Structure 1
Amino acid sequence: MMKHNVHFSVTKLAAKEMDAQILTMRNGVGKQMAVRSQGGVWFLRYNGKETLEKLRGKRVIIVGDSLNRNQWESFACLLYSSLSPAQTHVDEKSGSYKVLKSKEFNCTVEFYWSPFLVQLKVNKENGSRVLKLDKISKYARMWKGADIMVFNTGHWWTRRRNVKRWDFFEYRAKQVENMDTGMAFEIAMKTWAKWVSQNVDRNKTKVFFRSISPEHKGEQWCYKKTNPITNESYAWSFPREMVEIVERTILQNPVISYLNITKLSLNRRDGHPSVYKTKEGKIFIEMGITKPEKYSDCSHWCLPGLPDTWNRLLFASLLINTPKNVSFS
């Protein structure tokens, strides 16, 4: 588990009127962040012990696809750097469930694999895959009771290299092979939001939905890139319709806060594993594969790296009373 040498403290400055947004001040060594919210400006530095005190006795779940797994790995590493190894248990062997447990602080941070948030059922006889749009994931029973929930979905809803993740949609007990993806996605988001409304105690639990993590492909391919994009040339590749569906769903649900990390991540083509990703425990570029650049991982993120920023901002939003719609720019 990598250790992060980071610190976090809070200072409040008076301010007249504040927008509902969080800004990052890139001031070099201090990694200082200015957080704007109703009532003032807060300057923040990450402190592991303070964060762990905030999490004492609490259960955190991070649910979604491999990008949320990426965020869980970052979350676990940030906390681990301030924990006693003798009193800490980490289990990351399973692809569908990972957990960090601290005996000292009586807190857990768990990851649950659920790339659609709704059920994907595989027929054992013929192998067909049915995406049940109005049925929450069968693992949702395991999510209940958490104090902090961070969800994401979206990446598996888009076709990549003509790969389709399902064979049929099911809605109201009827199966169809073809349905507009945006429509299907909106039904699934409503199913998830309904589950949150019916199963989350808003007086106890904070629920976040993390926005889309940008990929860097095509002309913005991350291979051999060591610097961020320095202009406004990033070409948005994720369907705008799906982003609007997410934001509309969240606005309609008072329990859910929007952890919008997309804009701060757009230019970071230099932050991906590229050909240094691991496969079966080996570094990809060392496996003797010809033209490894074709297989560069320009979706996930290196650690330490950008997901640490997502989590520091998440910690900040837990520390102060941020608005419902938290936008990190």
Structure 2
Amino acid sequence: MESSSHSPARRGLGGGLAIPAQPLALTANRKLDERRQRALTRYYLASGVGGLAVGVHTTQFAIRDPKVGLFEPVLSLAKEEMDRVGREVFRIGGICGETKQAVAEAALLKTLGYDAGLLSLAALKTADDDTLLAHCRTVGATIPLIGFYLQPAVGGRVLPYAFWRRFFEIESVIAVKIAPFNRYQTLDVIRALAETGRQDIALYTGNDDAIVADLVTTYFGRRIVGGLLGHWACWTKSGVELLKICQAISDTVPAELLATGVAETDRNAAIFDAANGFRGCIAGIHYVLQQQRLLEGIWCLDENETLSPGQREEIERVRVAYPDLSKPDDDFISEHLDSWLR
């Protein structure tokens, strides 16, 4: 595997990209809706995203269940659409499970031409650091790795500073998605990377509750360069623009940008169902996409995974409260939806 800091995978992420996490389009009987799955990908690409993450938490980990059998089909559909777009799009696939499964998923991603794997450690909840790191090194022998600090509320596990300090010594690691929704744990990751001295690993925020704060702050001499976010799976075009604004900040952060950060946190609380421990986070994304007619319904693979009581009203509240952040995307989708659904 090419490990140079000048490798294409490292160069692709290092400049900072807006990367949405791909949802799963289902029919009412919970089968893949290929037409709308393609339309979602076309929407993201038309919005100007720099990359796409497929087969990740937002896509629903259950696509790997043999009874569901959607892991490879969803990856392949996204690949086909990215192949057609006529520009470079950084391709990230989710990797889950214990080592045998994770290596097999990494091999599939490589075969399909994906650039890197976002490595979830949720399946190794009781493993010690030595076991976790051996797992990461083994998977990283197949495909470049993006570390993933997934918050425990949605299936992740606590990963302390000591783990991250050693994780960043693995040569195949090219980036990390920091998504614990916790400022202390966020600092653990960034400090660990800063203390390695490595400049060839890119920092990405996955903290959908603190997007602007993450993107405009310098931590231990390092900047978070981009976002890999479920929050950007809806109202994506405004997310792409927000990243550009944040990347242009080199000194004083304008008060209006900080206010936008508060608005984004408020919107995310509604979409991700923070009031109910994030139980409706995927359904919340689906609801926004349904209202924009990109999805036919909010169905998830698990029929019990749906909006929480009051969540619909909260999403409608933030839609009305922040029209500058929602209406441009709504109008953009309305203008182009018919062509994306062809």
Q: What range is the shorter-chain TM-score in? A: 0.3 to 0.5
Report which of the two has the higher share of helix.
Answer: 2
- TM-score normalised by structure 2 residue count: 0.33
Q: Which has the larger radius of gyration?
A: 1
